Structure 1
């Protein structure tokens, strides 16, 4: 790998599989700077119509607008700290700009991000018609903006949504009851996200992402079934397995499983990639005033179940492992594994 240029036998094998696929899914460990460069290289070969990211639809909308302008999103992030989720990081932001130049649409599926109360309320204030609602949402937007700016300045990874009482969420619903469908949907989305964060309701989050994906694919439904275009996904690796999520802490079938089934329905292929670093640095926080956690290191010790693969990797070059032969051995009982996490990884 040199910049976003890839080469070598492993890349050539990967290129061949990319070109045979309708859906390519890049599962990652967030915050590793080389992964967006790799994703850009994949996109050049794959030529997707849609890039699907692990952000909410409102962040996706903001990012799409910002990458259409020259330069970084410095002014926006000064106004709304950490409000672009992973796209706060320059490598991720530039990936979307690169994809925009290739006419690729950005799609966000996730819950409303916890850092985005201020821009969310400001957008809602601009959408509603009622004077009382408009005034309230703008006041709240200003309040949450000041709170999040203060949190960032103090170096705290804390956010306005986490401090909101239930009464604030109730007000969202009440003040949008007489508004149009778009405002009501925003209120619903925010309230649902608040519940997900408060209850740490992972299954509810997974369900929401699936619903958002299905909704986004409705325009591609034909008389004979779905005809989704080429789609490139980039999420945390736990979300993109073909079957059960990698995590052994629960029984979750995530976005990767939906895409695998969609590919089957369309008579096409999905390619699921898991990108893992053996050792190095990764971003830990979006907050520039939180240096103790802004950049951290990782080692092979974080993924002991992957030692059979990582122990074979030497030097700075990337290595590619084709898990399909191992998968066939597992499903035909020719291979037995004692580690359920490793088994899920191979099957995913």
Structure 2
């Protein structure tokens, strides 16, 4: 998402509305490229399944850009990723903080992973972004099973707004010196009070990650100087970096939200680069729609999608970029600190989004568009519609689901 604190779990469709899309010429070409695709009992079928899977299996990186909180998109993602696992795709990259992603990776090796995720979410509210939704948790569990022993889950984002409780608990589990432990115990008590206030008001600004003073957090850092305390120091740094991104996002100072976004993009790329090696494995990447573009996205950024596209090209490999959106319906959205998420109407996107919706099937079936076929003569075809130009250059395929339903939030048994 753009500024995830400001628009927590709000859909990222295709960005800002631009000039009217190039009349019927684009629509005709979209309709000519349309293929039906069907999801039945966890398996993809229909005329669109084979070309999508064939192109995806040949890639080094597969990026799925989505609208968050839509049950059908999560179910499609599960079937799609599971079908790619036999081709060597065993690592999943998500918009999750690395610390929480590591915890999730451990849970996904359990017999009842979904229940374990629900229990973690109950113990540490608002520490998991997106995957505290049932369909998303089921997708994680299904892919971990399909990927087998080589499964890895990489989180490349900042830690989510409520994660301080978990980070402090993890720091306390490390061999820290008595002064640092005393400071951490005091922070744990402060976090409990902050959570109660956040839950009472619904205001995420009250979570400790944002409500603690700079001195209260920064004073811990020099106490973690020993060689055995480096893990705890890394956890503190994760908290401080996440805090800085959220602070700029919540700021009313002109330019701070843009700065927050730049800080976040730098973190996403840096964290991802740190996990990639010379003999790197194939990746499936599941992120918000704006993140997965090749080239410039609707927010005028070069995001993770472009980072991986360039990397693949430099290595003589390819990346595959798929956008999956619901035309209408509902999605589950953040509704306040400590509050149950709530269904909300899916909001219209840009003229490019509307054109994709108009080109979709009228019988209620899912429509897959091969956008690569529209690239020859694209500048003339787009007729100045920058959103359409960036969409077709930025994504290889687009899947339009006629109507989506809101995901459901996990609850403990």
Other-structure match for 2:334: 285
Instruction: Please state how far the C-alpha of 1:171 moved relative to its aligned partner.
Output: 2.1
C-alpha distance after superposition, 1:323-346 (max 9, x if no partner): 11223322xx44243332222212
**TM-score normalised by length of structure 1:** 0.88
Give yes or no for the alignment of 1:137 onto 2:184.
yes
Equivalent residue of 2:220, what SS? helix
Structure 1 stretches of at least 4 aligned residues deviating more than 6 Å after TM superposition: 286-289
Q: Which has the higher strand share?
A: 2
Give yes or no for the alignment of 1:115 onto 2:162.
yes
Instruction: Show structure 2 runs of 5+ residues with no match.
Output: 1-38, 250-259, 395-413
Distance 1:260 1:254, change over 3 A: same
Other-structure match for 1:241: 293
Q: 1:319 aligns with which of 367, 371, 375?
A: 367
Cα RMSD for the two superposed structures: 2.2
Other-structure match for 2:78: 40
Cα distance in 2 for partners of 1:114, 1:310 equals 34
| Equivalent pairs, count | 334
Looking at both structures, which has the greater relative contact order when contacts are Cα pairs under 8 Å and sequence separation is at least 6?
2
Distance 1:181 1:325, change over 3 A: same
Q: 2:105 aligns with which of 44, 64, 87?
A: 64
**Contact 2:97 2:157 survives alignment (8 Å):** yes
Cα distance in 1 for partners of 2:131, 2:364 equals 26
Q: Superposed, which structure 2 residues align to 1:1-348 within 5 Å?
A: 1-47=39-85, 48-69=89-110, 70=112, 71-72=114-115, 73-101=117-145, 102-103=147-148, 104-148=151-195, 151-152=198-199, 155-158=202-205, 159-178=207-226, 180-200=229-249, 201-217=260-276, 220-221=277-278, 227-247=279-299, 251-285=300-334, 290=339, 294-299=342-347, 301-313=348-360, 314-330=362-378, 333-348=379-394
Cα distance in 2 for partners of 1:3, 1:279 equals 23
Distance 1:315 1:163, change over 3 A: farther
Cα distance in 2 for partners of 1:286, 1:68 equals 30
Instruction: Show structure 1 runs of 5+ residues with no match.
Output: 222-226
**TM-score normalised by length of structure 2:** 0.75
